[in-house]
Each structure stands twice: as structure tokens, then as C-alpha cells.
């Protein structure tokens, strides 16, 4: 069977940054440790005034195409996943294709274009669509371009304001991929939920605490569903487990839950039993509340064990290094987590070919998806080619007043003229609106 998966990855970050402990926390009157230790964030990325989901997506895609020497004829499909679309009819992929056609010979006239929506899980769903299209033999030898792009802004004063971010991840999905092969097996946890939504509004309505519970509940169901087709998951099976990362503190909770689930009824549970007891079983309790309380106590003890700490530091923590510096990129977030993991492996000289990742995606509203990935031989060259550290180091560091201006400039309800903070070069920029209220773009040298 032909392997299908991610052949190339590129990341494009918004050009501005906000330092959470140093710039945001003092104005909010909060302890900086709430951001660094509690949420697990240092800085977030923001778009400059000439950036938006189209420019960031097109810039990531162009870097990917240039690096791999691709032309539009090589691409049979362009899918954009976003929660930040500004048009209910014309998909963002058409804008991005239009941008790319300004700089390449040829066009994407025969490529199928679309836009995927299911909150943050839509990026993974777009990869699925591409995978299925290739596996069905409909791709005519061409690859799919999947672009996850978002400006994850919250209303000023919303608790989510601390977790904002902006950036794009472009991925080439192809046969015999260089980075990872996707498993056929998948698990889903999906329910009609009202935790985070944008009913025709730019900034989300969020029930923050509820959204965290829903994330964990759906993720657990997805893992159980995945195991029903792929068999039991064990902690030794996976080199890294990248999760959707709205903020690293959320993944800390998901990691602990996952570890507890994976060691249940294994030698590891027996080994730990001398110190923290065995995991509470629902059948042993008269009421759900008593069971929940016992589980909470067990988890509190579990997270303090050396075994758990060692596993977390090796398998989960490396997936969070980019998220700490960029915040939430919604549809791109789990793909940023996978990239962080592989970057960590590259930087520490780890052998990864043939090793497994377990990938946990999540979208509010709500749906989690879990699948496995097998790392392919070309992963090292792909990760080496990323310039994400350079991009992050080059961001303009906003003071609080500038942050407020940038937030206003991107607020669709406000009409704000603001000078750009950075000078664009060799990239697509937003230049204004056309006669039908369409957004216009140009490539600047
Ligand atoms: N030192 C160390 N830790 C501190 C601290 C300090 N001084 N002060 C606070 N903390 C800890 C808190 O204990 C808490 O950690 P625990 O949950 O482990 O106890 C953490 O820092 C955050 O503090 P609060 O809970 O008080 O923070 P908050 O209520 O202001 O906001 C939030 C948290 C509700 C998640 C908010 O950021 C939010 O609404 N975010 C947007 C929604 C979101 O991201 N939900 C995640 C699941 S939904 C999803 O994944 C989809 C998506 O992308 C949006």
C-alpha cells in the first residue's frame, strides 16, 4: 500500500509579538507566573497591519513551494482551514491561489479548492480530505496543499485574551511523504457543544472553564475510539504526543489524563501501586461524585511521581516549545505542536525514522480526533529547512499601547489607520479593498 502523509511543512508567524509576563501581566494587575507557569505562555504572535489569514497562508505556501521547486501544475488541491474567514461564500483558498499565481508561471485552474470549518480541528480534517483524495486515486499524481491559517484574537478583556496568536502552517500532502505517514486508523469524540463559538461575529463567545472540560472529555472519547480500531495504546509506543495546544497548560491536563489511561491495567500501574495505590475503578464506588473525588486524588499523586514526570518531560513538553512563543494558532496549533516535537528531535540528535507519534487534534463545538503517524526518512531535512526561529526572533516587540492599536486595527468593527511596525520584503501583503468589497493583495520585493 502506498504511504500517504505530510511531505513538507512551512510555518509563517505574524510579524508582531506581545510579551505576556512583562507587558501584558503588569497592565492586567496579574502575577506574571499566571502566564508563564499557569497557562505556560511567554509571548504571542500578532499580525502587522498588512498581514491577515491570506498573506500568512500564502507566504507559508510560497516558502514551501519554492523550497521544494513546485509549480502550480504539481498541486491538485488547495484546502484552507480557518476560524478567521472574512467571507461566507468565496473561500480563502481562492485568495491564496490568486496571490501565488502573481509569482508563478501557470495557474491553479485545475486544482480543487475549498475551505474547511470545524474550529481548530479543521486543519487535521483538511489533511484527512487530502489523504482520502490521494488514497482514492483521484489525484492524478499531484499533491495537495493544506493551509491552516488564523488570527486568533479575542475581545479585549476576555479571559482568552492571554492566549491569542496569529500564524499559518502550510503542509504538502503526498504519496511516499518525507515527514510522516498517517495511520488509516482514527478515533473520534464528537458532540454538539456550546463552549466556544463565533455566530457571525469576529471575536469568539467563550465559556473558558467549560471549554477545558469539553476538550478533555472529547479527547478521551477519541482515544477510546482510536483504541477500538488500533488496539490499546501504551506509553512506550509513542516518541511524542502532539496535542492541539490552545495554551500549554491545557496540554498539561490532557497529558496527565492520557498517561493515566495508557497505564491502566499494565505493569506500570502495578509498579506505581506501592506508592500511590491502584487507579480507582468506577464499579467500586456507590456514587459518581465519590469516584470522581478518588480519581482527582489519584491524579494529584500520579503527577508527582518520577515516572510520570520523566515521561511528560520526554514525550509531551517538547511539543510545546513553539506554542509558548506564539500562543494559539487555532487550526494550525496541533501542526505547530508536531513541528515542535520534530524540531526537538532534530536539535537533540534523536533517531526518529520509523518512530510513532500519536496526534490529538481538537475543535470546539466540539470534536477531537486521534490518529498515529510514522516518521519517515526525510523528516530531518524538512525540519532543518525551517526558519521559524529566525522569524520568531525578528518579530517586533509591542508595548501595551501599541498592542491596543494593533488589536483595534484588526477589529472589523473599527476603522483605524495605523502605520505598519515592520517593513515587508519578499512577501504577500494586504493592500485594501476592491470594488466588490473583496480584499486585495500584492507581492512586494
Ligand atoms: N502562578 C502559577 N500559576 C497560576 C498563577 C500564579 N500566580 N495564577 C494562576 N495560575 C494558574 C491557575 O491555577 C490555572 O491553572 P490550573 O487550571 O492548572 O489550575 C492557570 O494558571 C490559568 O489561571 P485561571 O484559570 O485563573 O485563568 P483564567 O480563568 O483567567 O483563564 C482560560 C483561563 C479560561 C482557559 C482562558 O484563558 C480562556 O478562556 N481561554 C480561551 C478558551 C480556551 O483556550 N479553552 C481551551 C479549551 S478549548 C480549545 O482548545 C479550542 C481553542 O483553541 C480555543
pTM score, two decimals? Answer: 0.98
The beta-carbon contacts of 387-391 under 8 Å, at least 24 apart in sequence, are 388/11, 388/13, 388/322, 388/339, 388/343, 391/11, 391/12, 391/13
Confidence bin at 424 (pLDDT 50/70/90):
very high
Distance CA 142, CA 136 (A): 13
pLDDT tens digits for 385-419? 999 999 999 999 999 999 999 999 999 999 999 99
Residue 258 CA to ligand 1 centre (angstroms): 19
Distance CA 322, CA 11 (A): 11
Q: Which of 39, 83, 326, 363 to mutate to test the pocket of ligand 1 (most atoms within 8 A of CB)?
A: 39
Question: Mean pLDDT over residues 421-430, rounded?
Answer: 98
At residue 1, does pLDDT exceed 90? no
Share of the chain above pLDDT 70, in %: 100
Confidence bin at 316 (pLDDT 50/70/90):
very high
Q: Is 328 in the pocket of ligand 1 (CB under 6 A)?
A: yes
Q: Is 211 in the pocket of ligand 1 (CB under 6 A)?
A: yes
Q: Which of 24, 29, 32, 34 to mutate to test the pocket of ligand 1 (most atoms within 8 A of CB)?
A: 34
Query: Residue 265, exposed/middle/buried by CB under 10 A (0-12, 13-18, 19+)?
Result: exposed
Q: Is 243 in the pocket of ligand 1 (CB under 6 A)?
A: no
**Three cell numbers written together for 364:** 470546539
Share of the chain above pLDDT 90, in %: 100
Q: In whole angstroms, how far apart are CA 92 and each of 60, 82, 84, 113, 279?
A: 14, 8, 10, 9, 48
The torsion of the CA quartet 340, 343, 349, 354, rounded to 10 degrees, works out to 80
- In words, the CATH class of domain 4-444 is alpha beta
pLDDT tens digits for 171-184? 999 999 999 999 99
Instruction: Answer for the pair 320, 40: CB distance below 8 angstroms, yes or no.
Output: yes
Upstream peptide bond of 366 is cis (omega within 30 degrees of 0) = yes
Question: Mean pLDDT over residues 206-219, rounded?
Answer: 98
At residue 188, does pLDDT exceed 90? yes
Q: In whole angstroms, how far apart are CA 214 and each of 163, 177, 192, 327?
A: 18, 33, 10, 20
Residues 6+ positions from 364 with CB-CB distance below 8 Å: 119, 120, 193, 195, 196, 197, 211, 214, 215
Using DSSP, state whether 185 is helix, strand or coil: strand
Instruction: Answer for the pair 51, 15: CB distance below 8 angstroms, yes or no.
Output: yes
Atom 27 of ligand 1, residue of closest alpha carbon = 159
Question: Mean pLDDT over residues 7-28, rounded?
Answer: 98
pLDDT tens digits for 109-124? 999 999 999 999 999 9
Give me the residue spans of the domains in the chain: 4-444
Question: Mean pLDDT over residues 305-324, rounded?
Answer: 98
Question: Mean pLDDT over residues 232-256, rounded?
Answer: 98
Q: Catalytic residue positions?
A: 83, 120, 244
**Whole-number mean pLDDT of the chain?**
98
What pLDDT is attached to residue 224?
98
Amino acid at each position: 500500500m502506498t504511504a500517504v502523509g505530510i511531505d513538507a511543512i512551512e510555518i509563517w508567524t505574524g510579524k508582531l509579538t506581545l510579551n505576556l509576563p512583562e507587558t501584558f501581566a503588569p497592565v492586567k494587575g496579574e502575577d506574571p507566573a499566571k502566564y508563564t507557569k499557569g497557562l505556560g505562555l511567554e509571548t504571542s504572535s500578532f499580525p502587522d497591519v498588512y498581514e491577515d489569514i491570506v498573506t500568512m497562508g500564502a507566504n507559508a505556501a510560497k516558502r514551501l513551494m519554492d523550497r521544494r521547486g513546485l509549480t502550480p501544475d504539481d498541486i491538485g488541491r488547495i484546502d484552507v482551514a480557518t476560524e478567521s474567514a472574512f467571507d461566507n461564500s468565496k473561500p480563502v483558498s481562492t485568495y491564496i491561489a490568486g496571490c501565488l499565481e502573481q509569482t508563478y508561471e501557470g495557474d491553479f485552474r485545475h486544482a480543487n479548492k475549498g475551505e474547511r470549518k470545524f474550529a481548530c480541528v479543521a486543519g487535521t480534517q483538511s489533511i484527512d480530505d487530502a489523504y482520502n483524495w490521494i488514497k482514492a486515486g483521484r489525484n492524478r499524481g499531484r499533491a495537495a496543499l493544506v493551509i491552516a491559517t488564523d488570527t486568533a484574537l479575542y475581545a479585549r478583556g476576555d479571559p482568552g485574551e492571554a492566549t491569542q496568536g496569529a500564524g499559518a502552517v502550510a503542509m504538502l500532502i503526498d504519496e511516499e511523504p518525507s515527514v510522516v505517514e498517517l495511520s488509516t486508523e482514527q478515533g473520534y469524540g464528537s458532540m454538539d457543544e456550546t463552549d466556544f463559538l463565533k455566530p457571525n461575529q469576529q471575536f469568539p463567545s467563550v465559556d473558558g472553564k467549560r471549554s477545558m472540560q469539553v476538550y478533555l472529555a472529547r479527547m478521551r472519547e477519541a482515544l477510546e475510539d482510536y483504541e477500538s480500531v488500533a488496539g490499546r495504546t501504551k506509553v512506550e509506543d509513542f516518541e511524542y504526543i502532539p496535542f492541539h495546544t490552545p495554551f500549554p497548560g491545557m496540554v498539561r491536563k490532557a497529558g496527565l489524563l492520557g498517561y493515566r489511561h495508557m497505564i491502566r491495567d499494565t505493569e506500570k500501574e502495578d509498579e506505581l501501586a506501592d506508592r500511590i495505590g491502584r487507579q480507582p475503578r468506577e464499579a467500586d464506588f456507590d456514587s459518581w461524585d465519590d469516584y470522581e473525588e478518588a480519581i482527582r486524588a489519584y491524579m494529584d499523586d500520579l503527577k508527582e511521581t518520577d515516572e510520570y514526570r520523566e515521561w511528560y518531560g520526554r514525550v509531551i513538553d517538547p511539543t510545546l516549545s513553539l506554542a509558548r512563543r506564539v500562543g494559539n494558532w487555532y487550526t494550525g496549533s496541533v501542526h505547530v505542536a508536531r513541528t515542535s516535537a520534530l524540531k526537538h528531535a532534530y536539535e537533540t540528535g534523536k533517531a526518529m525514522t520509523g518512530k510513532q507519534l500519536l496526534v490529538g487534534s481538537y475543535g470546539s463545538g466540539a470534536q477531537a480526533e486521534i490518529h498515529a503517524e510514522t516518521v519517515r526518512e526525510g523528516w530531518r531535512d524538512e525540519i532543518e529547512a525551517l526558519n521559524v526561529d529566525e522569524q520568531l526572533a525578528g518579530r517586533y516587540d509591542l508595548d501595551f499601547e501599541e498592542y491596543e492599536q494593533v488589536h483595534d486595527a484588526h477589529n472589523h468593527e473599527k476603522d483605524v489607520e495605523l502605520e505598519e511596525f515592520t517593513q515587508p520584503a519578499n512577501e504577500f501583503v494586504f493592500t485594501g479593498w476592491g470594488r466588490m468589497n473583496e480584499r486585495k493583495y500584492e507581492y512586494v520585493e
